[in-house]
């Protein structure tokens, strides 16, 4: 069964008030899956044909000229990467949390 069908069925049971003890396990699993999907979305390589970054800054990019990821500066006001390279995908640079930092 597809994850979207599982999610829909669990939501239907939950909304109908028909959540058994076994369903509680599945609802907890559903919540964990939803959290993981959100985390994966943060690390997704976004095609420039889909959208560009909203803010200026440094981003990881893939270029036509080179198959390896690199960092490029993006300028939101000009909608420009400040480079002649042909950017195909981009994604935010996400740094690990520092010790003692939860966010």
What is the three-class DSSP state of 60? strand
Burial degree of 98 (CB within 10 A; 0-12, 13-18, 19+): exposed
Dist CA 70 CA 28 (whole Å): 38
| 31 token code pair | 């919540």
pLDDT at 96: 80
**Range among 3-7, 76-80, 97-101 with highest mean pLDDT value:** 76-80
pLDDT at 23: 67
The answer to whether residues 94 and 79 touch, using CB atoms and an 8 Å cutoff, is no
Q: Convert 15-38 to b/e letters by CB count within 10 Å (16 or more is b).
A: eeeeeeeeeeebeeebeeeeeeee
Could you report the per-residue pLDDT of 14-47, keeping only the tens digit for each? Answer: 788 776 666 677 778 778 888 888 888 878 899 9
Could you report the per-residue pLDDT of 49-87, keeping only the tens digit for each? Answer: 999 999 999 999 999 998 899 999 999 999 999 888 899
């Amino acid at each position: 069964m597809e994850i979207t069908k599982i999610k829909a069925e669990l939501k239907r049971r939950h909304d109908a008030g028909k959540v058994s003890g076994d369903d509680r396990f599945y609802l907890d699993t559903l919540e964990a899956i939803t959290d993981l999907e959100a985390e994966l979305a943060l690390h997704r390589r976004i095609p420039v044909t889909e959208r560009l970054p909203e803010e200026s800054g440094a981003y990881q990019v893939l270029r036509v000229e080179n198959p390896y990821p690199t960092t490029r500066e993006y300028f939101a006001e000009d909608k420009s990467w400040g480079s002649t390279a042909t950017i195909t995908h981009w994604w935010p640079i996400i740094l690990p949390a520092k010790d003692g930092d939860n966010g």
